[in-house]
């Protein structure tokens, strides 16, 4: 699967004509204290977004973002709940599946595909050696990657990897959407520990 994360707004607090169009727009002083995000020091959706922004715009951008006093949490649930309740106006690392579910349930939120890119990473599956029910696991793996399985998963907002299946929600559709840069090279991997130390500026 493909794991997409980008800006999500509370539509009650953010009218359509005030929606950020680029990541730089979230640096507007009017959003100070109204931003939340998954902790980028972990392996969740905050990491590819923050790393991509650092590669794209440099450390100065992170310093300006820190001045906006974003709230970080290690779990997406409380952040999304806070966004829905209006405690935050902007959620910087909303994942498509979560956003689709909340939107379908009537929550006043909107996933925004910013012009300078959305975060993306792979969501891998594996069959563990000596698993208690390996045949059941194989059946799941085969189904989840089949055309039928991918079609069903697409309905939830998952990113699809099967060539013959298209995204079925606005949030998961990547047609014409820019992607944030990724940490993909050996040199970039070697810098992860040092780079994540800098994320302390937002704590």
Contact by Cβ (8 Å): 8, 109: yes
For 17, other C-beta atoms within 10 Å of its C-beta total 5
* Residue 176, Ramachandran bin (φ over 0: left; ψ between -120 and 50: alpha; else beta): left
Residue 190, pLDDT score: 66
Q: pLDDT tens, 102-113?
A: 999 999 999 999
Long-range contacts of 124-127 (CB under 8 A, 24+ apart): 125/1
Q: How far apart are the C-alpha atoms of 23 and 173, rounded to whole Å?
A: 19
Residue 203, pLDDT score: 44
Q: pLDDT tens, 91-137?
A: 999 888 899 999 999 999 999 999 999 888 777 788 889 999 999 99
pLDDT at residue 9 above 90? yes
Residue 3, pLDDT score: 59
Q: pLDDT tens, 52-104?
A: 999 999 989 999 999 999 999 988 899 999 999 999 999 999 888 899 999 99
Residue carrying structure tokens 């793996």: 141
Average pLDDT over residues 181-190: 69
- Of 51, 30, 29, 31, residue with least CA distance to 40: 51
Residue 121 bridge partners (DSSP): 3
Contact by Cβ (8 Å): 119, 4: yes
pLDDT at residue 39 above 60? yes
């Amino acid at each position: 699967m493909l794991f997409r994360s980008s800006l999500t707004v509370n539509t009650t607090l953010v009218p359509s004509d005030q929606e950020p169009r680029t990541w730089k727009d979230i640096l507007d002083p009017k959003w100070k204290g109204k931003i939340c995000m998954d902790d980028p020091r972990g392996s969740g959706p905050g990491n590819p977004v923050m790393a991509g922004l650092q590669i794209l715009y440099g450390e100065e951008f992170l310093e300006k973002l820190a001045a906006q006093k974003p709230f970080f949490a290690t779990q997406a649930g409380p952040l999304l709940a806070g966004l829905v309740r209006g405690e935050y106006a902007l959620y910087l690392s909303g994942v498509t599946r979560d956003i689709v579910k909340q939107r379908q349930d009537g929550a006043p939120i909107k996933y925004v595909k910013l012009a300078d890119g959305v975060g993306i990473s792979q969501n891998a599956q594996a069959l563990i050696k000596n698993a208690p029910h390996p045949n059941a696991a194989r059946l799941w793996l085969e189904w989840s990657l089949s055309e039928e399985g991918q079609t069903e998963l697409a309905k939830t907002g998952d990113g699809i990897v099967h060539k013959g299946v298209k995204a079925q929600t606005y949030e998961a559709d990547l047609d014409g959407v820019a992607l944030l840069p990724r940490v993909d090279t050996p040199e970039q991997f070697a810098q992860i520990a040092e780079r994540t130390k800098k994320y302390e500026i937002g704590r």
